[in-house]
Amino acid sequence: MEQQELLARVKEKFGAEVKVLQEPPDLLLEISREKLVDFALWLRDDPALNFDFLVFVTAVDRHDYLEVVYRARSLKFRHEIMFKVKTPAANPEVPSLTGVWPAANWDEREVYDLFGVTFTGHPNLKRILLPDDWEGHPLRKSYPVDKRPAKLY
């Protein structure tokens, strides 16, 4: 499926609930936190889309808010989509997509560990890279530079 056709299907299904940030050929969408799980389920379960593979989950700190960014792929149809969700920096919280794509598990834990985003409904949300006693989230722009170790090993 071409990205233009994919965009048309998204607009037909979700209308104004989805914001187009970048047009095809590099389609990028913004989804509300409230519609994230519905959107992901639709991507996975619609037989014409069949987004059966979550490529990655990451985050971007924009000072006042964080963006949680997702990329999904259909292995069968060889098409991809990228979408993101905004969440306030003061209390970053996004629904977990582990129930949609189990591969989200470790990526969400990494984003939690490094950015401090809480993924509600995650089955085991705890640090994955840093020690349990580590204070803060080092990829946040608000993380104090003097707290960063000179060496991690």
Full residue range of the structural domain in which residue 97 is found: 3-147
Distance of CA 47 to the CA centre of its chain: 22
Q: Residue 152 falls within a domain, yes or no?
A: no
Q: What is the CATH number of the domain that holds 110?
A: 3.30.460.80
Prediction pTM value? 0.93
How many domains does one find in the chain? Answer: 1
Q: Is residue 59 part of a domain?
A: yes
DSSP state of 110: H
Which residue shows structure tokens 């401090």?
116
Position 153 in a domain: no
The pLDDT value recorded for residue 1 is 85
Q: What is the pLDDT of residue 125?
A: 97
Residue 118 has what pLDDT?
Answer: 98
The pLDDT of residue 20 is 96
How far, in Å, are 7, 11, 54, 93 from residue 4 at the CA level? Answer: 5, 11, 21, 31
From first to last of its 153 residues, what are the pLDDT tens digits of the chain?
A: 899 999 999 999 999 999 999 999 889 999 999 999 999 999 999 999 999 999 999 999 999 999 999 999 999 999 999 999 999 999 999 999 999 999 999 999 999 999 999 999 999 999 999 999 989 999 999 998 776 665 655
Q: Does the residue 112 lie in any domain?
A: yes
Flag whether 14 is in a domain: yes
Dist CA 75 CA 50 (whole Å):
8
SS in 3 state form for 7-67? HHHHHHHHHHHEEEEECCCCCEEEECHHHHHHHHHHHHHCCCCCCCEEEEEEEEECCCEEE
Residue 47 included in any domain: yes
| The predicted structure's pLDDT at residue 103 | 96
